[in-house]
Structure 1
Amino acid sequence: MATLTVREVMTLAPLRGTYVLAGDSGIDRLVSGVNVMEVPDIEPYIKPGELLLTTAYPVRDRPESLVGLLRLLHSRGLAALAIKPLRYVERLPDRFAELADELAFPVLVVPGDTSFNEVITAVLGVVLAEHDPEPAHDEVIRERLTGIALAGGGLEEIARTLAGALDRSVEVVADDALVLGGSPQTPAEDTPAAPGRRTVRWEFPVTVAGVRRGHVLVGGQDEPSLAQRRLVRQACFAAGMHIAQALASIELDRRLRVVFLEELVTATSLDADALEQRARLFGWDLGGTSTVLLAACTTAPSERSLQSAARRTLGATAVAWLRGTQVVAIAPAHARAEEAFREALERAGAGPTVVASGCPAPTLTALPGSHATAQEVLHIAGVTHRSTTRYADLGFERLVLSLPPDRLRDFVEDQVGPLLRHDLQVDGDLCRTLEVFLGLGNAAEAARRLFVHYNTMKHRLQRIGELLGADLHDPRTRTALALALEAHRLVGPSPATGAAAGDGRRGQGRSSALE
């Protein structure tokens, strides 16, 4: 594998016009690969020796995090960071360039029209190259095979070229043909063997960055000669370059899709026609009313499992992507498949999962609103311990949480403060008793639900009335108490309640004074 420094990378055609912003004393770091940053939590996806390309879009809301990112990249042994002109971040943090110089970690600024895909192809074309002296008469074949890969030729063309040079049957196979969008090549027929001789096929691995990605099968009756093996190795290199380009293109396409989808659900003031056109270019049919779904997973499912789960449960037109351990999906509003999607994700290895869906979005430009409400619903689901919930089902909770928390806590304190403190101080269950009673409206039924004697229930209700100074037969009082209990569940205890509870635990005298 050829070596390449950051200084040499800057001389490649796709990076013409690139300059060093800071950290130029590390300009001779070795580059062994290329990566693109499209999520803030990039750490699981980077490897030592990589050149990291970014537009800074993932940290547009927290540009100060670039300083911590720089430390992380340096500690993980990356070669350099290349940033496009600051389209999403107005200015870099003050400490950023200074830290790059201290760490001798090169930070490059690339021209605004730089194609990340072309950069990946150019760098891989060098770092994957093998240096193997070959006879002069094989140079034409070697250049032809390399040219095929650089020109975007496929594995079939590589196989045909090698077969013509060797006068043998050749098959070039990618281990993951489906990922590359093709299928294994059909092997050419071997020349009939002479009587008593059999045709043998020799296998040569195709590797990319040390990982096997396919193989070349060469037929014939005799083992390939040393000269033929050199040509086969060159064909393996050309096939590896083709596969690397295909995989890099697929990965870049996936990341660009995620960037667009994130912009689609978070950005505002976007042009509807432009969004629809870009969505069509990616092959998505996002017409009609849609809904954003958020799934909080324990662990991130694989990309393939996620897409399979989304298609099965949300419909063929749904799109889904990963945001760390969170899954984001855009699905037709009529799908109503939150529970099915949750179960599918858990079967796909996501672990215990909570799924929330936002309000319907009649147009693509309304998706940020659906995303915002989905985040709100996901928060409420966590507070109320629900595994799935929808925006339309949380009218009461949304109404309560739309009020300032301090006002809600004051209301809770006014209505049920003494009751909350009583239960905390003596480990009682009067709040639960009141909640069940208000929900059923019948003391006898509430007693059965709580598995207590009816007389015990009457005593508890009497005690609740005394503590609160409230008439539990009054409809308005019952409504206010039910609202206060629900608000308490959503916003938590007030400082007064918590402090009094702490005092009660330190001395029962406080409890007796209340009672």
Structure 2
Amino acid sequence: MDDVANGERPQARDLPAPAGYVLTVRELLTLPSLAGSKLIAGAGGLEQIVRRVNVIEVPDILPWVKPNELLVTTGFPLRDAESGQPFDAPALVELIEGLAHRGAAALGVKEGRYLDDLPAAMLDASDRLDFPLFLIPQEIGFDEVMSEVFMHLIDRQAWALDVADRMHRALTTIVLEGGDLPQIVDEVAALFEAAVLICLPDGRVQASAGGTADLQALDALELFDPSGRLRTERLHHGLQPAPGKQPGQIAVAPVIAGGTDHGLIVAFASGGGLGPVTMQALERAATVVALAVTKQLAVSAVESKFRGDFLRDVLNGTAGPPDQIVEYCAQLDWDVNRSMVVIVAQLDSDAEPGAELGAGYTVNPPVVGRMPQERLTTGWQQVVRRRDRFAPVVGFSHEVVTLMPVGHREAKDVVEDLIAAVTGDRGGGRHSFCTGVSRVIDSVADIPQAYDEARKAVVVGRRLRGNGAIAHFDSLGVHRLLSLVSDSAELHAFASEVLGSLAGDDDEALDLRQTLQALLDTNCNVAETARVLHFHYNTLRYRIGKLEGIVGPFTTDPILRLDVALALRVVEMKGL
């Protein structure tokens, strides 16, 4: 079957242009049933939305008023029940304020014998609160108004559902024809006339489409970190204005399948105009995106199994002769016949699991995110693919291994750029990880050794610098030897025997260890050490005497000095 992703764009579907299905007060006054009605105050609220209509039959209507409700009445309920005279101005002002506070859409009063002119204070209150107030001709029946309003609301809601359903079927067809995320966002962007993107839960953008102006306006928003990640923690489900003072409107729908959060689909229109219909259709599109993502993950899982099994054999040195490895890698669309480093990334065991979703982004009902190891693998694959699509990247159960092509002089810069892109700004639920980097190798036969170097670098880097450490095997120094000692108790015992009380964690021990390390760094040059530590010469001589009283004559005994230097390195290493 041909893959639509590699062919022409699917034929455009005959879908209605996006529009709102709600009825505004402005549109309401143009209905035939309200012909001749006259707006007398509150013109600033003509865009208020009308979702229901009711008749005021009693004076104390406020407890039963609902949001977005059009209220119509005669003058009779506005009169004093005892005197039969109209309410005074303060009472009518209080009525207008109460209706506005409860979110009513507008008030229509029928002209007739029960009501004289409405007081100026009531009109002023309507203008002040942007609450539309209009007069209805006496010959118009309330039943006609209610019937026509309900008919328009039902018709528009039915139309909105039809738009969402037809778009859902169109997108489903794209997926069934072999299309993928690029074709889906292209179709949705054309329908909404907006910029549309799909991203992972941590904000890595998978596909985007739309007009050039909208895409440029979206990129200019304060929603992307330097690595290109969409800051999902700054968005929430539903319609929302563009952040800051930027013009435009954003619609966000979560992509969920089988209780698993696969990310977001986001629409942005620099000119606004995204309404409830857009939101409804976008939620339908999100279900199709979930279908496409699930299909993609299923195919990827099968491919990754074969790729992972083969690369594991290569890393263990059991895949066969180098020529055979190069040939088989070429069949997998990998190029390993060049200079490269092996990079091993391992999640930190105490990464915070509560950061699965960004702050401010909530979904109801709650869902779980993809496994952190899967997301780390996806992140490395996406970042590496942008730089070199022929570089192998495979995720195993506890680590991600990358064979990255580099020159001997650029290895460090290339690796740091990759890690910075994968790490991002730690937003969107990204877990911290440690990275180990091997020496640069020029032969496939050296891959097993380079893999072993990278794994050692991860272990030593985490011990030295904790979570998020980056360690190059070339820069490990003596720590490479110390990492080979599997018995951490033996290392602790060695450090305690050599350093004595200096091996402790109290403030005095830490302070004296700093002085001891500075002396070793300057080859026990007292004057230079005093300058580095900003000590008086006599103060440092006093400290040297105190140190020699604890560890022995390290300033004159080179063997003891070596033992002390190694013991300090052991204490420096964490996680032993």
Higher relative contact order (CA 8 A, sep 6+): 2
In proportion to residue count, which structure has more helix? 1
- Smaller-chain TM-score bracket: 0.3 to 0.5
TM-score (norm 1): 0.45
TM-score (norm 2): 0.41
User: Which protein has the larger Cα radius of gyration, Structure 1 or Structure 2?
Assistant: 2
